[in-house]
Amino acid sequence: MHLDVTALSDFYLTPLGRIVRQIIGAEMRAVWPTATAERLVGIGHATPYLRPYLGEAERVIALMPAAEGILHWPREGPNITALAYEDALPLPDSSVDKVLLVHVLETTHDPSQVLREAWRVLMPAGRILAIVPYRSGAWARAEHTPMGRGRPFSRSQLCQLLESAWLEPITIRRFLYVPPSRRRFVLGSAGAWERVGSKVMPSFAGMLAVEAQKTLMRGIPVNKPARGLKILVPGLAPVPTRSATADPLSGGSETRPAHQTGSRTTTAPETACACRRR
């Protein structure tokens, strides 16, 4: 379920929201240090993280989900936001260099379709950056924040989702170790939380970001060769003696031994190979 756009905007105006914006923005800038002469599209509530690219990218567009609502942005210039269905983007094929997904995959009803749409509008070898709440972190349970709403992801879940949409994961980052608290002393030590958390308790990160690249071809998985079935060959067994036909001269019949040793008559066994040759 999508959050209301005003609730998201109001969160980023709070002291806690400003800390979140600084941390996520720094991580995003580390992955995408520049977007010079590129076309960048943000899907979800991406406006807090698109501002640094306004002066360098060829074009920046913010697409907000129809169920979320829309705000004019940026306030100081012409509007570059649009209302759209996140699973049916109003963009042509192969028209975008980079796509940012934030506050959308965890709330949309079909994240796979959103990623497939992102793949469609990306240029060949284009990049996508998906930012979602991390399942094992405290922020996924903080319902007073946008990260505590919707569906959090583990690292394997997000990577599998990207791969199913023909997007190859390249970079994986975990961050936002500061507790989701409004207390002033916690917010004041946010930098220390990030430095220590990334080294001591990486599994307790609040957010997960995966950069992936559009692929046009995928390898076909090689099936394991079928294991040969064991064929059980029956053991050698005695074969009954064959009755000789009646001797036309004597008018009688007799049993001819297949093999004779002394006074004892035995029948030579027929091998399994002989049976199969019949």
Buried b (16+ CB within 10 A) or exposed e, 71-108: bebeeeeeebbeebebbebebeeeebbbbbbbbbbbbb
pLDDT at position 131 is 98
CA distance 167 to 257: 78
Instruction: Look at residue 228 in the predicted model and tell me its pLDDT.
Output: 54
Intra-chain end-to-end CA distance of the chain, in Å:
72
Beta strand 39-44 with 81-84: parallel, antiparallel or unpaired?
Answer: unpaired
Query: Which pLDDT belongs to residue 272?
Result: 38
Write down all domains in the chain, each with its CATH number in brackets.
5-214 (3.40.50.150)
Q: What is the per-residue pLDDT for 217?
A: 73
Q: Which residues pair with 122 in a beta bridge?
A: 96
pLDDT score of 207: 98
Exposure string for 235-266, b = 16+ CB within 10 A, e = fewer: eeeeeeeeeeeeeeeeeeeeeeeeeeeeeeee
Q: How far apart are CA 52 and CA 39, in angstroms?
A: 14
**pLDDT confidence of residue 189:** 92
Name residues of the chain where pLDDT drops below 70: 1, 218-278
